Structure 1
Amino acid sequence: MIQNFPFYLVLIIIIVLLIMLANKIKVAYPVLLVIAGLIISSIPNIPVVKIDPELIFIIFLPPLLYEAAWAISWKELWKWRRIVGSFAFIVVFLTATIVAFVANHFIPGFSLALGFLLGGIVSPPDAVSAGAILKFVKVPKRMSSILEGESLLNDASSLIIFRFAMIAVATGQFIWHEAAISFSWMLIGGIGIGVLVGWLFMKGQKILPTDANMDTILTIVAPYLMYIAAEEVHSSGVLAVVSGGLLLSNNRHSFLSTSSRLRGINVWESLAFALNGIVFMLIGLELPEITSGLEGVSISSAIGYGLLITAVLVLVRILSAYGAVVITLIARNFITVADSRNPGFKVPAILGWTGMRGVVSLAAALSIPEKLYPGGPDFPQRNLILFVTFIVILTTLVVQGLTLPIIIRKVNLPEYDDHLPDEEAEDMIRRELAKLTVRHLHENHGELLNKSVFLQQIHEKWKGKIEEESDIKLSSETKNAYLNLLEAQRAWLIEQNHDEKQYFDEDLIRKHLMKIDLEEERMLLVH
């Protein structure tokens, strides 16, 4: 490890340069990183990279899931909960089942249990890849919300299938009632532990005299504790991190100071950037390790099996997307759905084509032990499962990853009225904040307003007569009045976000909340 340290430093520099290139040519960076990893792995005398699956499951997965949970809109997740839940659980289970039967029928030596094992590995699409691609094209907010929500939960469902399939392969039996009890505990226990650990962190940071540095460190520690605590009691660590992350994200303004929120955003963006870049590069670098263990089957046959499974995954996802539309159109006659209109054929087609696979699939495949049990026979078809998984990841990333932006631009997706147009929403938020500001100053600080030049400037600024703020020495009373005003603005924005009658995009609300945080941080630095 130490002797290869310069190599890893160079890799990090290459990752940064490739992501810069990807942004410039408007290609999803996971595609370039995987291809670059393949190229680098073929260079003679390059150190062989061997990925420890525990490294991905313990080191990489918790913070990446946690960061995604903080970034997603809870309002959007709840609005589209039915479609998100169906893709994250029902479609994953359906995909794993179909892959199991196809593998059992077409791949020599593949039992049904091994087929389910492979299905559990390759069934969850990768969120990072889809997000990186959608960054360069305009898609309806509902589509990005559904993809983000699905990605938070599908890893949990696929790893549950993987765990049960591993037991079936090792023991040769599958007891349904035990599996049902275990499955229920993984769901309920994972969510419960995540919420409990998140609540403890929230209360602790609210009560204890922490500062921005301490709060940032605690947010980094939290997902690891959630994941480890859940896995220790054999529940879902993924669901624990997701549920705990959603709880803390939705209450961030109640227990984190302004400085902590601003500092945390910068730290987490950098951390997620680095971790995502490293894991996709590692996927490409892992090729020599995977192919070296491929025995008993030709490379061409193994590639064929991989392409067959890839085709099954794509077809099942597209058909599932159209099936979800049909079910929604039927269900609207009996229950209230998020949107009862027929989305046409374009949106389901795009949603179906977004199923790129990534790091969770590779980590699950690598975690298959070499022996069925210590000192026992070799795990059946382990190397072939690894190779097929790699082909699925590579094919979906490159083919779907490169063609998705082109298809989105060609099909001209419909516009929806889920949210007000950004410009209109911006104007409305500014107008309402201005009304609130003027009213708040008159009602709560009317006497001070007549004496404080600074508050008079703020008053005029929010009435539309924008002037440069002078470098005025503020009294403690004036500063507190302004901070109180900012808190009133923050409370109004949060209230609007929770109001189901409003159609403000939560990303826009968060943008204005950050502006208030920055202004509050600036005021706290004024002596």
Structure 2
Amino acid sequence: MIDQFPFYLALIIAILLIIMLANKIKVAYPVLLVMAGLLISIVPGLPVLHIDPELIFIIFLPPLLYDAAFAISWKELWRWRRIISSFAFIVVFLTATSVAIAANFFIPGISLALGFLLGGIVSPPDAVSASAILKFVKVPRRMSSILEGESLLNDASSLIIFRFALIAVATGQFFFLQATLTFVWMVIGGVGVGLLVAWLFMKAHRYLPTDENMDIVLTLVAPYVMYIAAEEVHSSGVLAVVSGGLFQSVKRHDFLRSSSRLRGGNVWQSLVFVLNGLVFMLIGLDLSEITGGLAQEGVSVTAAIGYGLLVTGVLILVRIFAAYGAVLTTVIVGRFATVADRNPGLKAPTLLGWTGMRGVVSLAAALSIPIHLTDGVPFPHRNLILFITFIVITATLVVQGLTLPWLIKKIELPDYKDYIPDHDAEILLKRGLAQKALGHLTSQYGDQATQHNSLRYMVNKWESKTNGNDADLDMPEEQRAIYLDVIKQQREWLLTKNSDDGHIDEEVIRKYLQQLDIEEEKLRFM
């Protein structure tokens, strides 16, 4: 390991350079990282990397899921809950079933149980790839929210299918009642453990004498504790991290001070940046180990590539059909119940159906297949399943990843007008914050507001902002407590506005919440 340390350092530098290139040419960086990993893997003399699945499940997956859960809007997640839940659970199950039937019919030696195992592995789309592509093109907020929400939940559902199929292959039996009870416990237990651990960490932040560094360390530890605790009681670690992350995201202003939120955000951005880069590079670097195992099964590389492309085609077709099926279902249900959009059109499902790139979870699940069964017999077709998974990941990343920006521009998605324009929302929030500050200052500190120059400046400042103007503010030390109280009232107003007003995008509100954090930090160092 020590001898290979310079290689890993060089790998990180290479990842940075590749991502710079991806940003320059406006290509999603997961695509270039996988292709670069493929090229590096064939260079003679370089160390052969063996990817331990536990490394991805334990080291990589919890922080990536936690960060995604922390970043997503609960308001958006709830608003589009029907389409998100249908894609995260129903579509994943239909995809796994379709792959199982196709693999059983077309791939020699693949039983139905092995087909479901493969289906569980390749059914969840990867969120990182889609979000990396969407940042180069403008899409309606609802589309990014649906994709982000789906990605938070589909990993859990696919891994549950994978576990059941793994048991069926190992034992040769499948008990429906036992599987149903296990599924219920994995869902309820995972969510329960995640919420419990998140609540305990929230109390630790609130009542222990922590500083900013300790707060950041606790946020880094939290997702690992959620994941491990849930897995120890045989529930879903993925759902535990997602539910715990969502809970803490909604409550972040209750237990994290402004300095911890600001500094922690920077730490998490850097950490997730490195982890994502390493994961996609490792996918490409693992080619040599995967292809080496095919010879042991007597399967040619050409045939294995064909099987992989067959499975890829099934995945793409099922997702496209599911997207259009969701539109039809929405139109029918909209006649009898209230839905977010009764007439979603056909352009949105076209885009949703093409955003099915696979990634880290699929690779980790495939690698976690045991080498031997409990009786010592080699696991059937393990290497072939690994290779097919690798082909699916590579094909979807390259084909869909490179064509998705073109498709978005081609179909010209309409403006659904889910929210008022950002510019109008910002004007509304600026004036609302100024009015809240002015009202609180004059009602609670009326005498001081007329006696102290600094507070008079504050009154003038917010009066100007209510009229659309701005003013400078010079705040002496003795008035900071009053200003901090005003900022607290503004923050509470923003949070209430976010929960009560469905016409303002939460991203805009978060921008102003961050500005209040920065303003509060400035006061501490004046």
Tell me if both proteins adopt one fold, taking TM over 0.5 as the criterion.
yes
Asked if residue 467 in structure 1 is aligned to residue 471 in structure 2, the reply is yes
Q: CA deviation at 1:452?
A: 2.1
Asked if residue 366 in structure 1 is aligned to residue 367 in structure 2, the reply is yes
Q: CA deviation at 1:24?
A: 1.4
Q: Which residue of 1 aligns with 2:316?
A: 314
Which structure 2 residues correspond to residues 169-188 of structure 1 after superposition, within 5 A?
Answer: 169-188=169-188
Instruction: Give distance in 2, aligned partners of 1:502 and 1:111.
Output: 49
**Residue aligned with 2:445, SS:** helix
Q: State the Cα deviation string for residues 92-126 of structure 1 (Å, max 9, x = none).
A: 00000010000000000000000000000000000
Q: CA deviation at 1:450?
A: 1.1
In 2, are the aligned partners of 1:454 and 1:474 still within 8 Å (CA)?
A: no
Which structure 2 residues correspond to residues 245-256 of structure 1 after superposition, within 5 A?
Answer: 245-256=245-256
Instruction: Give distance in 2, aligned partners of 1:453 and 1:241.
Output: 50
Q: CA deviation at 1:338?
A: 1.4
Q: CA deviation at 1:473?
A: 3.2
Instruction: Give distance in 2, aligned partners of 1:119 and 1:63.
Output: 25
Instruction: Give distance in 1, aligned partners of 2:113 and 2:476.
Output: 73
Q: Which residue of 2 aligns with 1:483?
A: 484
Q: CA deviation at 1:179?
A: 0.2
Instruction: Give distance in 2, aligned partners of 1:502 and 1:85.
Output: 20
Which structure 2 residues correspond to residues 401-416 of structure 1 after superposition, within 5 A?
Answer: 401-416=401-416
Q: Which residue of 2 aligns with 1:494?
A: 495
**Residue aligned with 1:437, SS:** helix
Which structure 2 residues correspond to residues 205-220 of structure 1 after superposition, within 5 A?
Answer: 205-220=205-220
Q: Which residue of 1 aligns with 2:449?
A: 449
Q: CA deviation at 1:474?
A: 2.5
Q: CA deviation at 1:32?
A: 0.6
Letter in structure 1 aligned against 2:485: N
Instruction: Give distance in 2, aligned partners of 1:466 and 1:283.
Output: 52
Q: Which residue of 2 aligns with 1:339?
A: 341
User: Which range moves more in the overlay, 149-158 or 459-468?
Assistant: 459-468
Letter in structure 1 aligned against 2:353: G
Instruction: Give distance in 2, aligned partners of 1:502 and 1:122.
Output: 36
Q: State the Cα deviation string for residues 302-356 of structure 1 (Å, max 9, x = none).
A: 000000000000000000000011111111122221111x222111010000000
Q: Which residue of 2 aligns with 1:348?
A: 349
In 2, are the aligned partners of 1:460 and 1:466 still within 8 Å (CA)?
A: no
Which structure 2 residues correspond to residues 252-291 of structure 1 after superposition, within 5 A?
Answer: 252-291=252-291
**Residue aligned with 1:294, SS:** helix
Asked if residue 323 in structure 1 is aligned to residue 325 in structure 2, the reply is yes
In 2, are the aligned partners of 1:318 and 1:351 still within 8 Å (CA)?
A: yes
Q: Which residue of 1 aligns with 2:503?
A: 503
Q: CA deviation at 1:486?
A: 0.4
Letter in structure 1 aligned against 2:313: A
Instruction: Give distance in 2, aligned partners of 1:268 and 1:402.
Output: 28
In 1, are the aligned partners of 2:461 and 2:473 still within 8 Å (CA)?
A: no
Q: Which residue of 2 aligns with 1:39?
A: 39
Percent of aligned pairs sharing the same letter: 66
Letter in structure 2 aligned against 1:330: I
**Residue aligned with 1:27, SS:** coil
Q: Which residue of 1 aligns with 2:70?
A: 70
In 2, are the aligned partners of 1:15 and 1:33 still within 8 Å (CA)?
A: yes
In 1, are the aligned partners of 2:12 and 2:278 still within 8 Å (CA)?
A: yes
Instruction: Give distance in 1, aligned partners of 2:128 and 2:477.
Output: 46
Instruction: Give distance in 2, aligned partners of 1:263 and 1:188.
Output: 33
Q: CA deviation at 1:523?
A: 0.5
Letter in structure 2 aligned against 1:467: A
Q: CA deviation at 1:454?
A: 1.9
Q: CA deviation at 1:236?
A: 0.1
Instruction: Give distance in 1, aligned partners of 2:453 and 2:75.
Output: 40
Q: Which residue of 1 aligns with 2:240?
A: 240
**What is the Cα-based RMSD across aligned positions, in Å?**
0.9
Letter in structure 1 aligned against 2:252: R
Q: State the Cα deviation string for residues 409-433 of structure 1 (Å, max 9, x = none).
A: 1111010111111111111111111
Q: CA deviation at 1:460?
A: 1.8
Instruction: Give distance in 2, aligned partners of 1:83 and 1:264.
Output: 32
Q: CA deviation at 1:502?
A: 3.5
Q: State the Cα deviation string for residues 225-257 of structure 1 (Å, max 9, x = none).
A: 000000011100000000000000100000111
In 1, are the aligned partners of 2:168 and 2:174 still within 8 Å (CA)?
A: yes
Q: Which residue of 2 aligns with 1:301?
A: 303
Letter in structure 2 aligned against 1:446: G
Instruction: Give distance in 2, aligned partners of 1:199 and 1:269.
Output: 23
Q: Which residue of 1 aligns with 2:10?
A: 10
TM-score by length of 2: 0.98
Instruction: Give distance in 1, aligned partners of 2:456 and 2:403.
Output: 56
Which structure 2 residues correspond to residues 377-396 of structure 1 after superposition, within 5 A?
Answer: 377-396=377-396
Letter in structure 2 aligned against 1:81: R
Q: Which residue of 1 aligns with 2:204?
A: 204
Instruction: Give distance in 1, aligned partners of 2:456 and 2:13.
Output: 51
Q: Which residue of 2 aligns with 1:162?
A: 162
Q: State the Cα deviation string for residues 143-189 of structure 1 (Å, max 9, x = none).
A: 00000000000000000000000000000010000000000000000
Q: CA deviation at 1:458?
A: 2.1
User: Which range moves more in the overlay, 329-338 or 33-42?
Assistant: 329-338
Tell me, which stretches of 5 or more residues in structure 1 are unaligned? none
In 1, are the aligned partners of 2:155 and 2:238 still within 8 Å (CA)?
A: yes
Instruction: Give distance in 2, aligned partners of 1:523 and 1:272.
Output: 30
Q: Which residue of 2 aligns with 1:131?
A: 131
Q: CA deviation at 1:434?
A: 1.6
User: Which range moves more in the overlay, 449-458 or 157-166?
Assistant: 449-458
Letter in structure 2 aligned against 1:19: I
Give the number of equivalent residue pairs. 520
Regions of 4+ moved over 4 Å: none
Instruction: Give distance in 2, aligned partners of 1:485 and 1:311.
Output: 57
Q: CA deviation at 1:219?
A: 0.4
Q: Which residue of 2 aligns with 1:357?
A: 358
**Residue aligned with 1:293, SS:** helix
Q: CA deviation at 1:524?
A: 1.5
Q: CA deviation at 1:479?
A: 1.0
Q: CA deviation at 1:446?
A: 1.1
In 2, are the aligned partners of 1:191 and 1:240 still within 8 Å (CA)?
A: yes
Letter in structure 1 aligned against 2:324: Y
Instruction: Give distance in 2, aligned partners of 1:484 and 1:220.
Output: 30
Letter in structure 2 aligned against 1:118: L
Tell me, which stretches of 5 or more residues in structure 2 are unaligned? none
In 1, are the aligned partners of 2:316 and 2:356 still within 8 Å (CA)?
A: yes
